[in-house]
Structure 1
């Protein structure tokens, strides 16, 4: 898979980079949909919820998701009151302009898309 990904990307980057990018985009979008919390405790709760949802979408644990996949700058920006809400406004939670769903911070998987745990190739 890494070889094919390198062929498509044209760069020397492993497939894990794609998972990291996906997790970071999902987290940034969920933080934007969640809105600004009123207290530090509410912000920590919302952070846990978002990380748990992203981990579920990736088929991973929240600890592994936070440690290895979601860019810590996205979490820090959320705690500093910065999100991508202005960019995603009118696009719905998934960032997909055709979705039109803005019901809350829950992540929805696209139809037919399923994240799978990846294992390193045995060589």
Structure 2
């Protein structure tokens, strides 16, 4: 199980090998460590000079704010996802999770443990 303590902090120092100040890298690192696939991004141009991106992973979608370009829009959407996972207020747009208002948001990344087969050995 992943706890909030294992989340890579949003380091504004730009180093350390944990994605620096890039929320896309941080989200990908977090999901990879939890055993999930990389997130996917869908970006739409909403006005001549504005783009809005949606990031999707584990059946959830997070929408970012309108930004000046596609790259910034994707970073903002990833930032929304990280904010929610670390206890922020931005809920996902869609989710396959049950009512988890009081649950640790990071728990949505945990995969169920594989069932272990019990082997009973009989000695004669």
Q: TM (normalized to structure 2)? A: 0.29
The structure number with the bigger radius of gyration is 2
User: Relative to total residues, which structure has the larger strand share, 1 or 2?
Assistant: 2
Return the structure number with greater relative CO, CA threshold 8 A, min gap 6. 1
TM-score (norm: length of structure 1)? 0.29
Bigger proportion of residues as helix: 1
